[in-house]
Structure 1
Amino acid sequence: MKRFYTALDVENAASKGENTIVVNENDVVTSVAKEAADKKGIKFVTQDIMVNSTAKVTKSEVINSNPASTKVIAPQYKGLISEQEVDKWREEFPILKDVVHVANCSQSAQAKRVRGAINKYLDNWLTVGMDWDSWVQEVYEAKVEFAKLINADPGEIAISTSVSEAVSSIASALDYTGKRKKVVVTDAEFPTVDHIWLAHQKHGAKVDFISVDENYQIDINEYERNIDENTLITSITHVYYLNGFKQDIAKIAEIAHRKGSLLLVDTYQCLGTEPVDVKKMNIDILTSGNLKYLFGIPGVAFLYVNKDLIPMLKPSLTGWFGQENPFLFQTRYLDWAADARKFETGTPPVLTSYAARAGLEIVNEVGVERIKDRIDMLSAHALNGCLSRGLKCVSPFDVSKKGGTTAIWVSHKMGSHDMEVELRKRNIIASARGDVIRVAPHFYTKPQEIDYVLDQIKQILDSK
């Protein structure tokens, strides 16, 4: 029987002083387990293959090729953004004149508008000195743009400094003392989210993991099996950061709600390229940062909480800006805000809100439906390019199940960070993660740029 190994198996081995975990050839070692093993100096081994993030894999034929029957399934490209419009928009991102930027799953290219917004704040600070009225208004306007993006009301949006802080606020607001104390998460989450839920076990939370399968995907039936009458909240990613696997959020929401669970969705790895409607998709709670496909910078994130849910949640992670009137400066009681401001904490991230608003305005102006049309085309182009070049791709070949990221396996020849460095020497910005190099375009990316990136990856691998 196939077994899935998770970080818990690594922790168990470490507690026994073991430095190897023996697995069968058909077993699946999750990416989280590999990362945990690397940190603890533990190796996964079979009789003839070592599975960790730095090992050379002896069965190179398994790693180097996709199955011969693999075909790309993609929707028809509508060309909603013309090449002429793309060329015009590329002028907004100066770095694109000199490099191929396909690391948008990590950080998007800098837009002139975003730089201008940051300078607007700096100039205001320089000349006015202190302008809290306009600064707080800018924070609100950023929330308005985010609400527009996901079809929410501005009163359902809180601003935060990171997804870590936003999820922590929600986790601190839940009651784990009743029958429902189970938190369902997956190995596809960005680690920070799982870490937060694990930390709340001391408050009574019971964390259950759903593993990814051998294709780095999750069968939706796993949610039917794992969400039950004891589940308080199901916390999932929309798109897997490692390989771009995209989940059907509306279907998972139906399963979760049918069984009485809340649903929290982390959309960081796709928002801006994938249409999200919190009302149609029946999402209870959603969070995202801004530095990836939303053209922002680190240090700001947003949290959506359905307005009907807000009164029931009581966050212990709070602060003066989470109160109904922060400027009462009272200290003797909690008076949480009636809207999503309830989940805010201290002084808001002003400078980064300027950048966030400007980036969000670009996305809303171009239109996410149009961006998705182009991203799907570029995804199909990248997948077909991997097949034609014999590059091992661990992303879904069905574009309907895939975000913008195409993940190419490189660790059989070299470390993924080393690949990232080599590509940078060739004026390519890509993103390393675990065993793969991630190629993640945005709407400003050209198909011929994808070809250049894949050619260079193949050339580098062939030289090893």
Structure 2
Amino acid sequence: MTISRRQVLKGMALAPTVALAGPASFDKHAPKPVAAGEGALEFKVRRYETCLDNARWHPLSMGARARVEEYLEYKERVVWTKPDLIDQLQKSVKQNFARLIGADAGEIAYVNSTTAGETMFVSSLGLPDKDCNIVTDGLHFEGSLYLYGALQKQGMDVRCVRPDKNWRIDLKDMERAIDHKTRLVAVSQASFINGFQHDLKALCELAHSRGALVYVDAVQAVGAIPVDVRESGVDAMGSASYKWLMGDFGLGFLYVRQSVIPRLRRTLFGYRQLNAFNYHAFPGDPVGPYPASWSQHDDASGFFEIGTYSNATLAALSYSLPAILDMGPAAIQQHVQQLIAKVQREIPRLGYPSMTPADAGSPIATFLIKDSAALAKKLRTAGVDVAAGNGRMRISPSIYNTDGDIERLLEALA
């Protein structure tokens, strides 16, 4: 069923809480047939180009744009009454993200980006600390490698595991790097370089057996493949919303397992962490310590939410997250893997060796190229959008892509 803009706006204006609640049930392990371009997720990008670079930033759906327009109309009116639309959106979006990864809403904090969440979590562990070490790998995000490299320059023992000849991170190599002085293991669930996925459950069991916590960058995973923080055992996970969550910049999520939160320290402070705040300084104030007293939330928001976030992105997510939940990440993965399998089979025949393990299961396939600038120009001329640079070509199809899109890519490469 296609949902029109009129239906979206009417639903938001009359009953935002009901409209944003998402489906009644969700089984991410039960794929449903998906017909690309059909259903609640429609994308105008198909009119302009063959976009196979969704891992860079995912096009906004027409339904999500309608929600953003409704928010802008709401703000334009400047009539603020309780219950406020944004208050309702903040609750429902956080609840839907929690459902998407198998967490509780109290374990989720809003953050500005994936990197912001990882940086805050690392700081909350008291790092850098010369009495322990951090283990990461060479397929982790570049901003994260900068973070850990900077900590290393401050005297932190940082161990970075290299990929093997097949462009995987071998669990045995991680085992050699992780010891009983390791405080944190930080990896990407799906590498932005080549889509490689760790066996998170095995990695978490290894790390926990030696007393370490595990942080996972899931920005190239959540929304595109099934993610279950309970099943994997990860301690913390970050994701922005402008990629596979089909939102935009300025709003992301940080999951921290509830049992880990009491072990953390607050290193940044903001009004969103407050459960209550009372002045004791002005006429009419209750008696108390000058100038004020307060209490803090004891969940993830009470440690990591520090300021304002993008309300327009919140509005976009109020549409996209229920749609992703309704479709099911397993169904999305199943559709995308059919397209990935074709490029993995055909592109090496054209002279571009694959860097992506055949069983990666992520929405990314990367190939080695010789002349990045010439290839990028060739694909632009053909109206095909992929990431080409630094000797690599990264292809990342999404739910709206079709076999015809892959054929156009192959024709351009031939």
Confirm or deny a common fold (TM above 0.5). yes
Contact 1:409 1:437 in 2 (8 A): yes
Measured in 1, the distance between the counterparts of 2:175 and 2:106 equals: 33
Letter in 2 for 1:440: S
Contact 2:50 2:385 in 1 (8 A): yes
Please point out which of 392, 407, 411 is paired with 2:353: 392
Contact 2:58 2:246 in 1 (8 A): yes
Q: Identity over the aligned pairs, expressed in percent?
A: 25
Kindly state the Cα deviation for residue 347 of structure 1 after the two structures are TM-superposed.
Answer: 2.1
Measured in 2, the distance between the counterparts of 1:457 and 1:327 equals: 65
Partner of 1:103: 53
- Equivalent position SS for 2:69: helix
Contact 1:159 1:302 in 2 (8 A): yes
Kindly state the Cα deviation for residue 220 of structure 1 after the two structures are TM-superposed.
Answer: 1.1
Deviations 1:390-411 (A, max 9, x none): 3322211x23x2411111222x
Kindly state the Cα deviation for residue 334 of structure 1 after the two structures are TM-superposed.
Answer: 7.8
Please point out which of 349, 356, 361 is paired with 2:310: 349
| Residue 93 (1) aligns with residue 54 (2) | no
Partner of 1:117: 67
Measured in 1, the distance between the counterparts of 2:40 and 2:47 equals: 8
Deviations 1:22-77 (A, max 9, x none): xxxxxxxxxxxxxxxxxxxxxxxxxxxxxxxxxxxxxxxxxxxxxxxxxxxxxxxx
Deviations 1:130-169 (A, max 9, x none): 5683323312221111101001111110001111211121
Deviations 1:155-185 (A, max 9, x none): 1100011112111211121124878521111
Contact 1:285 1:304 in 2 (8 A): yes
Contact 2:89 2:314 in 1 (8 A): yes
Contact 1:184 1:209 in 2 (8 A): yes
Partner of 1:437: 393
Query: For residues 118 and 131 of structure 1, do their structure 2 counterparts lie closer, same or farther at Cα, with a shift above 3 Å needed?
Result: farther
Query: For residues 318 and 188 of structure 1, do their structure 2 counterparts lie closer, same or farther at Cα, with a shift above 3 Å needed?
Result: farther
Measured in 2, the distance between the counterparts of 1:369 and 1:247 equals: 18
> Cα RMSD over matched residues?
2.5
Letter in 2 for 1:447: D
**How many corresponding residue pairs?**
374
Contact 1:236 1:265 in 2 (8 A): yes
Measured in 2, the distance between the counterparts of 1:353 and 1:422 equals: 37
Partner of 1:5: none
- Equivalent position SS for 1:86: coil
Deviations 1:184-217 (A, max 9, x none): 1111111111222344457764221111223322
Partner of 1:166: 117
- Equivalent position SS for 2:38: helix
What are the equivalent positions in structure 2 for 1:415-434 lying under 5 Å apart? 415=373, 419-434=375-390
Deviations 1:291-335 (A, max 9, x none): 111111111110000011112211312322123336879977784
Partner of 1:241: 192
Deviations 1:207-253 (A, max 9, x none): 21111223322111111101100000101001111111111111111
Partner of 1:62: none
Please point out which of 271, 295, 298 is paired with 1:338: 298
Contact 1:89 1:444 in 2 (8 A): no
Query: For residues 144 and 180 of structure 1, do their structure 2 counterparts lie closer, same or farther at Cα, with a shift above 3 Å needed?
Result: farther
- Equivalent position SS for 1:451: helix
What are the equivalent positions in structure 2 for 1:10-49 lying under 5 Å apart? none
| Residue 414 (1) aligns with residue 372 (2) | yes
Query: For residues 196 and 130 of structure 1, do their structure 2 counterparts lie closer, same or farther at Cα, with a shift above 3 Å needed?
Result: farther
What are the equivalent positions in structure 2 for 1:57-76 lying under 5 Å apart? none
Query: For residues 135 and 156 of structure 1, do their structure 2 counterparts lie closer, same or farther at Cα, with a shift above 3 Å needed?
Result: same
Partner of 1:252: 203
Partner of 1:404: 363
Query: For residues 107 and 420 of structure 1, do their structure 2 counterparts lie closer, same or farther at Cα, with a shift above 3 Å needed?
Result: farther
| Residue 81 (1) aligns with residue 33 (2) | yes
Please point out which of 128, 140, 147 is paired with 2:91: 140
Letter in 1 for 2:121: I
Contact 2:42 2:400 in 1 (8 A): no
Contact 2:109 2:305 in 1 (8 A): yes
Measured in 2, the distance between the counterparts of 1:331 and 1:379 equals: 60
Give the stretch that moved more between structures: 178-187 or 227-236.
Answer: 178-187
Partner of 1:261: 212
Letter in 2 for 1:253: C
Contact 2:130 2:156 in 1 (8 A): no
- Equivalent position SS for 1:294: coil
Unaligned runs of at least 5 residues, structure 1: 1-77, 459-464
| Residue 154 (1) aligns with residue 105 (2) | yes
Please point out which of 323, 348, 359 is paired with 1:362: 323
Q: TM-score, normalised by structure 2?
A: 0.83
Letter in 2 for 1:254: E
Measured in 2, the distance between the counterparts of 1:79 and 1:352 equals: 28
